[in-house]
Amino acid sequence: MDEYSAQEPLLSSQGVKKTPFFISSVKWILKTLMWVIFMAWVAIIFFYPSKFGNELFEKWIRATDGTLFGLSGSLFLLMSGPILLIAFLAITHLIISGEEEFQQKKRSKYPRVRLWTFPVIVDGPFGVVTAAEFIGILLFIVYVVWAIYSYTLQNISIISAWQLTFREKSIWLLELTGLRLGVIGLFCLAFLFLPIARGSVLLRLVDIPFEHATKYHVWLGHLTMLLFTLHGLFYVIGWGMRGNLYHEILEWKDVGIANLAGVISLLAGLLMWVTSLPGVRKWSFELFFYTHQLYVVFVLFLAFHVGDFIFSMAAGGIFLFMLDRFLRFCQSRRTVEVVSAKCLPCGTVELVLSKPGNLRYNALSFVFLQIRELSWLQWHPFSVSSSPLDGKYHLSILIKVLGKWTAKLRENIKNISAAEAADLQEQPTQPNAKITACVEGPYGHEVPYHLMYENLILVAGGIGISPFLAILSDVLHRINEGRSCLPKNILVVWAVKKSNELPLLSTINMESICPYFSNTLNLEFQIYVTRETDPQLEEGVAHKAKSSSLCTASKECGMSVLVGTGDNIWSGLYVIASTVGFVILLGFLDLFYINPYGIQLWWYKGLLFMACMAASILIFGGCIVVLWHLWERKTSARDKSEENGIKADKMPRNGDAEDKNLYEENLARSTMVHYGSRPDFKDIFGYVSKRWGLVDVGVLVCGPPTLQSSVAREIRSQNLRRESHSPVFHFHSHSFDL
């Protein structure tokens, strides 16, 4: 390892194409414009509670009064328009950037700490929090405190001008405070749905995958529901002090706030909130999952509660989520064939799924899987264990049998495999049995960030090795094909409970992917078997055992390319067409129905607003989806004419017996297995510091929260007390925690 100098640039320039000046200029302009719009939008939200913000808001309302879209259009343009405009610009940026942007990025040759990869909090309710995330949390806290402070001063000023008793002043203060908390909650709601739009163009722009952004949704969800709960509680206390609690709760005004609709929305939100708490979620994940579908009731009755013009303040993020949800629904309707299924001796299932040749994904991706023979409702996320370079028409996932659903899957495969073997003995010409699935994804990083480091430490716990097998395969393929920007040093630290899990490393044959890769890549394995003190069968990593498997030779039913890191042009057309359609439908509604007939009912206009959002996606977005699907079929047919049969697809999972034995011998030489112990990350990182020197080291973790915290704690310690010749460690989590 020492022959690689720390002074070498992080990215090799070999084979890298320089970006044309015009392209780079356009991208710079787009980024600048998006930042300006975003900062202006945040400034509007931040200053809205102040007197200055109220004056500007009133001027905006007066300036746009009398337009076709009215008050709701003005508020939508001011509060939701910026995020949609950023989405349009992001689409353009992604189309211009293309698929190989990671090769064109410049990196400093001197290691330095980065805010988004430096963990500052490693324990507590937030889990592992990086410096950038910590700053974001502080900014939200500052905004909420500032807004409450500003609104409280305004409330006191208003009430002090009235001649009221102390009791009446207390009631009014409670109700006005509840009103202000509701407004703050609406602004938090504007951000709440952005992180859970799985294939969102905004997440792809900032290269934050859905599994990582989920925790932002969790944090925002707690804050939003706290504000809405206090909003409702303050009103309930005030109504109780007035003595008209029952009447106020059941009131549904035609013009004004519909209280009963707000109560229904809040109750739905409270059910989602309570069942999403960690204790309840771990006790019954299905209860959490099914209760969370009440978000439809929560949003719909919120629109009834406040009417169209107030709801439009948070509608932008909700609309982007609805766009993503419809696209996911369209993708998940397709039945995908399982090319092969294998039950490994360690209790892990390997599935190889059929996919079209034009489906794009990165090594660190995951899919949501549904198998209707097991359940029509359950969807489960799994990391992809294969590289996109493994094969054009397939991807693989490894599934650890841990619960009822995965146990049923393993039993089904075994039963079908046994029945297939019996049938083949009686009727050799009988066709193979098939397993089908529905798939959402793949989702993941927009660019393969694991290729941005020359030095990698991959820390896995149990089945967490799955995405790292994809990384190893991806790196080896790129070395074999002579591509640039590849890691030179990789250390794999893997903790397992029992040694029967060790054969998972043999699910890829590294020597057959890239012969003599050890001449180019320094690859080491440090494996810790925590619940065994001695080798059970034999010393090494390759345990011989039988496995059940079945295969179906077909690629007719591959997964759809509608979501994930799909086609930028089609996904962009879908977003733009739906948004333009929404504006058109709102204009027609105001022009031919609301204004001529004098519709004034707030809750009814809120319903019409939601209906326009849904109709624009179904009609305008649906047309794009149909055209996209036809284009996909045409492209797949053209690919099939070029390559006939799945045998043309390369599946480098196995070699012949001689190659496999050689591979296992080489793997054993680079592997150290520790029995009866857990990884000591202080020693591991100290060893790396001495061997690798002054370099950037990407540390990728996939495993339980305790493992993530242990690694993050040591990275923080190493970076804080590092010496001038020591490496800088960068923390990346690849764990999916709902």
Domains and their CATH numbers in the chain: 21-245+300-330+567-631 (no CATH), 335-421+435-534 (2.40.30.10)
- Residues with Cβ < 8 Å from 162, sequence gap 6 or more? 169, 172
Structure token digits, residue 707: 């493992």
* Nearest-angstrom CA–CA distance, 335 and 328: 13
Eight-class DSSP state of 384: B
The reply to whether the predicted model has a pTM over 0.85 is yes
* Nearest-angstrom CA–CA distance, 198 and 210: 5
* Nearest-angstrom CA–CA distance, 416 and 394: 21
Tell me what pLDDT residue 184 has: 95
Sign of the alpha-carbon dihedral angle for 691, 695, 698, 699 = positive
**pLDDT tens per residue across span 333-342:** 888 888 888 8
Tell me what pLDDT residue 278 has: 84
Tell me what pLDDT residue 108 has: 54
Tell me what pLDDT residue 421 has: 61
Eight-class DSSP state of 658: H
Using DSSP's 3-state secondary structure scheme, residue 675 falls into strand
The mean per-residue pLDDT over the stretch 45-69 comes to 84
Q: Let me know how many helices (H) and strands (E) the chain has, helices first.
A: 24, 15
- Residues with Cβ < 8 Å from 327, sequence gap 6 or more? 199, 562, 563, 571, 574, 621, 625
Using DSSP's 3-state secondary structure scheme, residue 301 falls into helix
The mean per-residue pLDDT over the stretch 344-354 comes to 83
* Nearest-angstrom CA–CA distance, 449 and 412: 37
Residues 316, 79 contacting (CB under 8 angstroms):
yes
The mean per-residue pLDDT over the stretch 429-443 comes to 72
Q: Which secondary structure element, helix H or strand E, spans residue 630, and what is its range?
A: helix 622-642
Question: Higher pLDDT residue, 231 or 362?
Answer: 231
- Residues with Cβ < 8 Å from 243, sequence gap 6 or more? none
- Helix crossing, 295-311 with 259-275: angle to 10°? 140
The mean per-residue pLDDT over the stretch 90-103 comes to 72
**pLDDT tens per residue across span 173-223:** 999 999 999 999 999 999 999 998 888 888 888 888 888 888 899 999 999
Residues 684, 715 contacting (CB under 8 angstroms):
no
The single-letter code of the amino acid at 639 is D
Backbone angles phi, psi at 177, to 5 degrees: -65, -40
Residue appearing with tokens 């345990």: 543
